[in-house]
């Protein structure tokens, strides 16, 4: 082709030497085009530039935490230009409505307490999270604290949700009353600590008289969890699979010696006012210097002045400073909950002393917090999955979740910004002591999570009432827990013993 082209051009030049250079070039290009020459100059093609597509409008159901929905919606609108309609329901209404959204509401995303994961899976209300989302660099799975990664968002070996945080029960000690050496490392030492509080009051008769009791959350809805936090180190041990139920036959274990002992101790050490306290109220007593020792955790959401902030302050754009409080900061330390020197083996029906190197503390997980899932009936699935990947981002979540009373740090990166989660009304030392508590809880190989079986909330409701009755002096611990065991058996039979047993064997072994 090249030789032919050159010959034609040469002959053309000989015959048309008077032709202008411009015409010659035009002729040459025309011939080249006819013969298919690869030197032909093609017009540039326009390259399609990526276009930022506005996300489809989403409807998000928020169960049990009213404020978090609007904080999420503000960030979604500001950063992603997305529309997010919020539908709110109380936990009680959601359960009463058979774990459905209000009639007529087609929701795309559900935000709810983590103890409901199994219930929503069993009722086919939520979708399994795609592996590619969990493994994506944007989601950053390995940036999550351990139990938010391997336990809280999973059920029967599959991932069904993304984490949005949760608190950790901690031991709070007033530094004015008790020194570091007085912090009890196990539950058998709590009595000695209470004696030291009494001694402090005797030595300071003109000062504030502290009750020589432990303030703890025993209000309705919290008593069962506080009781399980106390019982956990007495019923859990590495390799032990059964905790509150026998996994072989789903018989209740809740009335065995370790639970009876734990409930009797709670009754003896709990302050009288604990019967009406939730975690926020317990923490406020400590922060105001009106408590000597308590079970709770710090949260910026517990600060009463949070409600007095100017709209948007402390919860608006990324990078804002933590909420400020003009209240004086009371000095107190934050430690892990006490452990237990022995644990009870229900098979041999005996107590076993732990060795010196054995872990004596056990964490309680999944008792509070929030997770998010894509609803089974979502009509905007693609946008919903993108939203679920965006929501737990470390920068987004520290803005949207830090002011939630039921949330808490869930990424390792959050632990470096603890004041964001605790607020300035907690000293920096206390804030990072809480970070240590969180980190230690997620490093432990043994934790207690209430079994995720159908209608778990019914079992917990029965237990909650019994704990409150015992602490109030209305019933003895053994009799109350015997009654709980009987009622649990009735619930199991109503649901179906074989199906509950199957579910229990699939979910134990945390």
* CATH architecture under which domain 170-364+446-507 falls: 3-Layer(aba) Sandwich (3.40)
What are the CB-based long-range contacts (under 8 Å, 24+) for 426-435?
Answer: 426/287, 426/298, 426/329, 427/329, 427/331, 429/333, 430/298, 430/331, 430/332, 430/333, 430/334, 431/298, 433/333, 433/334, 433/335, 434/168, 434/170, 434/297, 434/298, 434/334, 435/409
* 198: enclosing H helix or E strand: helix 190-203
Q: HEC profile for 1-34?
A: CHHHHHHHHHHHHHHCCCCCHHHHHHHHHHHHHH
Pair 323, 314: CB distance under 8 Å: yes
> Strand order of the sheet with strand 332-335?
293-296, 170-174, 332-335
CB atoms within 10 A of CB 382: 10
pLDDT at position 305 is 73
* CATH architecture under which domain 58-166+366-438 falls: 3-Layer(aba) Sandwich (3.40)
pLDDT at position 455 is 92
pLDDT at position 292 is 94
pLDDT at position 204 is 79
- Interatomic CA distance for residues 362 and 242, integer angstroms: 15
**Helix then strand then coil, % of the chain, to nearest 5:** 45, 10, 45
- Interatomic CA distance for residues 38 and 1, integer angstroms: 11
| Beta strands, E only, 358-505 | 363-364, 371-374, 447-448
Q: Which of 165, 418, 215, 163 is nearest to 300 (CA)?
A: 418
This prediction has a pTM of: 0.85
> Would the CATH topology of 58-166+366-438 be identical to that of 170-364+446-507?
yes
- Interatomic CA distance for residues 315 and 308, integer angstroms: 13
**Residues forming a β-bridge with 163:** 371
**Residues forming a β-bridge with 342:** 353
Task: Please list the pLDDT of the chain residue by residue as tens digits (510 residues).
Answer: 444 344 433 444 344 434 343 433 334 334 334 334 444 444 444 444 444 568 889 999 999 988 899 999 999 999 999 999 999 999 999 999 999 999 988 999 999 999 999 999 999 999 999 999 999 999 999 999 999 998 999 998 899 999 999 999 999 999 989 887 889 999 999 999 999 999 988 887 776 778 899 999 999 999 999 999 999 999 999 888 889 999 989 999 999 999 999 999 999 999 999 999 999 999 999 999 999 999 999 999 998 876 544 343 344 444 444 444 445 567 999 999 999 999 999 989 999 999 988 899 998 999 999 999 999 999 999 999 999 999 999 999 999 999 999 999 999 999 999 999 998 889 999 999 999 999 999 998 889 999 999 899 999 999 999 999 999 999 999 999 999 999 999 999 999 999 999 999 887 544
pLDDT at position 218 is 98
- List CB contacts of 22: < 8 A, sequence separation 6 or more: none
Pair 378, 110: CB distance under 8 Å: no
- Interatomic CA distance for residues 419 and 272, integer angstroms: 32
Distances (CA, A) of 64 to 363, 436, 465: 24, 28, 20
For the chain, domain boundaries: 58-166+366-438, 170-364+446-507
Q: Which of 488, 498, 502, 406 is nearest to 455 (CA)?
A: 488
- List CB contacts of 286: < 8 A, sequence separation 6 or more: 172, 174, 215, 294, 296, 330, 332
**Residues forming a β-bridge with 332:** 174
pLDDT at position 162 is 97
Residues 389-420, buried b or exposed e (16+ Cβ, 10 A)?
bbbbbeebbbbbbbbbbbbbbbbbebbebbbb
CB atoms within 10 A of CB 475: 16
């Amino acid at each position: 082709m090249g030789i032919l082209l050159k010959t034609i051009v040469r002959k053309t030049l000989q015959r048309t030497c008077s032709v202008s250079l411009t015409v010659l070039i035009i002729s040459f290009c025309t011939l080249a085009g006819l013969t298919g020459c690869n030197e032909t100059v093609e017009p540039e093609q326009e390259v399609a530039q990526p276009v930022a597509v506005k996300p489809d409008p989403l409807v998000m159901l928020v169960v049990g935490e009213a404020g978090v929905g609007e904080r999420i919606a503000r960030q979604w609108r500001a950063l992603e230009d997305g529309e997010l309609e919020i539908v709110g329901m109380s936990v009680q209404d959601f359960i009463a409505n058979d774990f459905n959204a209000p009639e007529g509401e087609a929701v795309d995303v559900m935000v709810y307490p983590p103890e409901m994961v199994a219930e929503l899976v069993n009722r086919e209300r939520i979708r399994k999270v795609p592996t590619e989302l969990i493994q994506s660099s944007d989601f950053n799975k390995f940036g999550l604290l351990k139990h938010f990664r391997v336990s809280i968002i999973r059920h029967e070996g599959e991932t069904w949700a993304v984490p949005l945080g949760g608190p950790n029960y901690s031991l709070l000690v007033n530094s004015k009353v008790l020194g570091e050496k007085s912090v009890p490392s196990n539950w058998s030492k709590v009595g000695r600590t209470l004696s030291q509080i009494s001694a402090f009051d005797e030595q300071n008769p003109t000062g504030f008289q502290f009750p020589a009791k432990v303030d703890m959350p025993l209000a309705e809805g919290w008593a069962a969890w506080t009781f399980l936090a106390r019982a956990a180190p007495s019923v859990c041990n590495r390799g032990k699979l059964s905790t509150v139920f026998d996994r072989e036959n789903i018989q209740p274990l809740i009335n065995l010696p370790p639970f009876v002992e734990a409930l009797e101790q709670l009754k003896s050490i709990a302050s009288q006012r604990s019967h009406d306290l939730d975690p926020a109220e317990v923490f406020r007593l400590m922060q105001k210097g009106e408590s000597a020792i308590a079970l709770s955790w710090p949260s910026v959401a517990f600060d009463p002045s949070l409600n007095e902030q100017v709209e948007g302050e402390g919860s608006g754009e990324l990078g804002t400073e933590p909420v400020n409080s003009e209240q004086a900061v009371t000095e107190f330390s934050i430690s892990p909950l006490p452990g237990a020197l022995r644990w009870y083996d229900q098979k041999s029906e005996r107590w076993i002393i732990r060795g010196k190197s054995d872990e004596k503390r056990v964490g309680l997980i999944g008792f509070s917090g929030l997770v998010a899932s894509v609803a089974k009936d979502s009509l905007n699935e693609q946008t919903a999955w993108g939203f679920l990947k965006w929501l737990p981002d470390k920068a987004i979540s520290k803005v949207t979740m830090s002011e939630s009373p039921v949330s808490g740090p869930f990424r390792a990166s959050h632990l470096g910004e603890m004041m964001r989660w605790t607020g300035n009304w907690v000293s920096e030392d206390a804030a990072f002591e809480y970070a240590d508590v969180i980190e230690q809880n997620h490093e432990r190989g043994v934790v207690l999570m209430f079994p995720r079986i159908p209608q778990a909330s019914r079992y917990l409701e029965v237990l909650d009432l019994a704990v409150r009755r015992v602490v109030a002096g209305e019933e003895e611990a053994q009799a109350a827990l015997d009654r709980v065991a009987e009622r649990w058996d009735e619930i199991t039979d109503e649901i179906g013993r074989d199906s509950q047993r199957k579910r229990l064997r699939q979910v134990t072994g945390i």
